[in-house]
Every structure is written in structure tokens, then in C-alpha cells.
A = this chain, B = another copy of it.
Amino acid sequence: MRGSEDWRQTFSGLIPPGPENRESMWAQMEELFPVYRSLCGPGFLQSLEIMRKYLPLEIVEFPTGAEVLDWTIPPEFKVNEAWVEDPDGNRILDFAKEPYSVWIYSQPFEGEVDKDELLEHVVTMPYLPDAVPLRQAYFRKAWGLCMPDNMLQRLKPGKYKVKIDTEHNQGFLRMGEYYLPGEVETEILISSYLCHPRGANDNLSGCVVAAELFRLLAQVPDRYYSYRLVIWPETIGPITYIDKYPDRLAKTIGGYQFGICGDDRPVRIDRTKRNNSVFDRAAHHAMLLCGQEINSRKFNIFGGSDPMHFNSIGVDLPIANITRAGSSTEGGYPEYHSSADNLDLVSADNLLGTLEIGWAACMAVDRARRYKGTYTATPFLSRYGVFPYQHGAGVGGNATIIGEAYYALMPSVDGEQDLLEIADWFDLPIFAFDECVSAFKKAGLIVDADAV
């Protein structure tokens, strides 16, 4: 994209992500990582409380057992103690040391089982033999354990003592919310899921990038749209949101999920079902602006989690997924859903890179409105005091990209193309239009064709 190499200098009025965001995100990662989380339970609440130190999230609660769409909110899950002792009395698994050892939402169990019976309840990850896989028993009744495959291979015959002391308690599904009002009530939804125990890349990375984005959005003085952040548990979170907030959905035009955002792969967008919505185009625009090639996948089977539900039947909201590796089902990364998904896998620089593209995408969406020119053909700009002489136009030299934007705008504001389509057509950063749009508006040369 023309002008992408020095956009931070050219558009110096913007407040893009910087080193302080990098530090803030990493501090948050380190503080959140050790907490044991599940869909609902004390760890999820504790994690939201940690995040509130960085962004004043409001915590909302929905009681266990409530019907949401045709789902039911699960109980809170808590592990008091869980371990396995081998025939020699060695404690070979211990939740206290490795929280992945017990299935999330495992039923309690206590007893002595022989090796064969034990194995029916044990899952390993043969291609990462030292790692403990993540396994859950959501929405079904079962007990189970996870161990390194190397351990499984060395288990000796005999009786094993198993203790799984878990609780499934009446309680709450919790979401952390943050709302930034804009000029209009039409809103953009930004989401991320916080339900995995540990999981540095999947998905603390997504949560901290999404939250940091709102610290930046809060500094934008003239937001057009309103922005809402929701941090929830996967699947049942968005299902609950869709059920409980029809009024909000009616005002929402789409948004982004941030999921798996901290590894070394380039930032990618998993597009919406609409395939070419403003959110898809804005992410592409942001990649080009930030000097990255477009890295984009069409709507796919797992849809990056939240997008699967929002793009679906009866909701039809274009929510795209901003990610790096994406989930394992599409190539992904080998440590996905295992104890190896730790802080070594992610970096502060990668979080910052994802944040930059996410921020630029939101800035592009916010500007991607439709304008209608009030003039015929070409206005005599000098009469309105808006001629771009200061940008090299009209005096025989070459106009800068800000000067070019005046010329690009004039024939294009037909009330049908949005400003992002215009910017993409002329291969200009959408920020290059800030000045001329503002000047044309003030002069009455264009009016908002999108007014809500």
C-alpha cells in the first residue's frame, strides 16, 4: 500500500499501539498464566479480577442451570484435589503440580483400579510425548485424567489408587464487559474467551490483546461507532450473550474475535461468512498498512470459535477471527490444547503486532462510512478554503498521499461505496482521507449517507 512505510509519521495525530502497550500486555500475561480456569468457576472469576487491574471490566453473572437458546449454563467447576498413585505408592499424577492432569469438568472419583481400567480414563498426546493434553468433559458425565505419553508407556501392571475430588456447584457463568460509547449507538463487538486453564497462546494472548485494544480505543476522541468488549467462556459464553442481549445484537454490525494471538506466525484473519464484509476488508487493509502481506482464510468449519455462532443462522453477524496460528484443526501449532502451550510459546512483540493490526482494522471500520457529495461534477475547492495546496496539489508538483485523497474522494462519494472501498480502490491508507473528509464535511460538500 502506498504510504505504508511511514504511516506513523504521516498520520501523526493518531495514537497507535506502542511500547507501553507491549509492557502492559506482557505483565497481564504473566499474572494470568498460573491461574486454573474452566468455563465457570473460581479461576475464571479470579482471572477477570486480574484483568480489571488493567481495564475496568464490568463483571456480569448468569446463574447455573439457566436455559440459554437450547443450551443450559453449566455449574461452576472446582478441583479440590486429584492424584494417582502407582502400584508402588508413587504419586505419578498430581493436579497440584500439573492442572492438566484432570479433565476439566471431570466427575469426582475415588478408588483403586487396575492398569487396564485406568487406561480407559487416561488420554495422552503421542506426538508431544512429554506434554499433558487438555481434555474436557463439558456437557456430559465422565471422569478422566491426562498424562504424558512417555509416562503411559512406562506404567507397570497392578493396582492404581485414584482420587479425583471435584465439585460441580451451583454458581454463575461470568463475563467481563467494557463499553465505549461513540457518536452513534451502532456497536462493534470485540470478544475473546478466557476459559482454558493456563493456555498462554490459546487464549490468554487473545484476551490481553482484546483488552489492550480497548485501552487504545478509549483514547480515540471521535469514535463513530460504539465498541463493546466481552471476555467470556468459549461456546456457552456467546450462546448466553446471543440469548440474553437481543437488543444489543440489533445494534451490532459485526466485529472481531481475538483468538491465539501470541505465537510467531504472521497475523491472519479468518473471514466472516459474508466473506467480504467491512470487517474482512478492514483487516486486509490493516495488514497492508502495517507492512504485512494479506494473510486471510475464508470462513471455515470451526470458524475460530465465537465467529461460528455469530455468523450462523438467526444471528448472521459478520464476526471475523484475528489470530496467528489459529486452531489445530487447520494446521495450527503442535502445542495447541496441551500443557506445552506456555509463556515460552508467545512473545510480547507478537502480542504487540497483533494489537497493531487489530487496532488499525478497527480504525478502518470506524472510518468506512458512506458519504454523498452535494456538488455536481467537481467543486471549485478554493472557494471553500479546502484546496490541498499544502499537500503539493495544484502547484505543479506531486501531491502527497493526503493531497491525492482529495482527488480520490471527489468523484467517489456516491453514497454507495464506503470510504474503505474508496481507499482500497486508490491504494491509499484510509487515514489519508481524514483531512479531506473533515474539510469536505465542514464545507458541506459531503454528507453522511450512513447516518443511523
- On whether the beta carbons of A302 and B407 are closer than 8 Å, the reply is yes
Expressed in whole angstroms, the Cα–Cα distance for A416 and B316 within the complex equals 13
For the complex, is A119 an interface residue (Cβ under 8 Å from B)?
Answer: no
* Minimum CB distance partner of A302 in chain B: B407
For the complex, is A310 an interface residue (Cβ under 8 Å from B)?
Answer: yes
For the complex, is A153 an interface residue (Cβ under 8 Å from B)?
Answer: no
For the complex, is A13 an interface residue (Cβ under 8 Å from B)?
Answer: no
Q: Which of A196-204, A280-288, A372-380 contacts B (4 or more CB under 8 A)?
A: A372-380
- Min C-beta distance of A374 to chain B, whole Å: 8
- Min C-beta distance of A137 to chain B, whole Å: 10
Copies in the assembly, this chain: 3
Contact A376-B314, Cβ < 8 Å, known A140-B382, A308-B411, A396-B123: yes
User: Could you say which of A70, A235, A301, A383 has the most chain B C-beta atoms within 10 Å of its C-beta?
Assistant: A301
- Min C-beta distance of A157 to chain B, whole Å: 26
**Which residues of B have CB within 8 Å of A316?**
414
For the complex, is A179 an interface residue (Cβ under 8 Å from B)?
Answer: no
For the complex, is A367 an interface residue (Cβ under 8 Å from B)?
Answer: no
Query: Which of B376, B379, B412 is within 8 Å of A242, CB to CB?
Result: B376
Expressed in whole angstroms, the Cα–Cα distance for A361 and B351 within the complex equals 48
Interface residues on A, range: 35 or more
Query: Which of B70, B235, B313, B379 is within 8 Å of A411, CB to CB?
Result: B313
Q: Which A132-155 residues have a C-beta within 8 angstroms of B?
A: 133, 135, 139-140
Contact A309-B140, Cβ < 8 Å, known A396-B133, A408-B301: no
Q: Which A364-396 residues have a C-beta within 8 angstroms of B?
A: 372-373, 375-380, 382-383, 396
For the complex, is A69 an interface residue (Cβ under 8 Å from B)?
Answer: yes
For the complex, is A219 an interface residue (Cβ under 8 Å from B)?
Answer: no
Binary per-residue interface labels of chain A (223-247) against chain B in the complex, 1 for a CB within 8 Å, 0 otherwise: 0000000000001001100110000
* Minimum CB distance partner of A404 in chain B: B301
Expressed in whole angstroms, the Cα–Cα distance for A137 and B281 within the complex equals 41
For the complex, is A426 an interface residue (Cβ under 8 Å from B)?
Answer: yes
- On whether the beta carbons of A239 and B377 are closer than 8 Å, the reply is yes
* Minimum CB distance partner of A301 in chain B: B407
Binary per-residue interface labels of chain A (103-119) against chain B in the complex, 1 for a CB within 8 Å, 0 otherwise: 00000000000000000
- On whether the beta carbons of B313 and A238 are closer than 8 Å, the reply is no
Expressed in whole angstroms, the Cα–Cα distance for A284 and B378 within the complex equals 28
For the complex, is A96 an interface residue (Cβ under 8 Å from B)?
Answer: no
- On whether the beta carbons of A315 and B376 are closer than 8 Å, the reply is yes
For the complex, is A320 an interface residue (Cβ under 8 Å from B)?
Answer: no
Expressed in whole angstroms, the Cα–Cα distance for A425 and B302 within the complex equals 13
Sample of 5 A–B contacts (CB below 8 Å): A273-B411, A308-B378, A312-B373, A314-B376, A329-B398
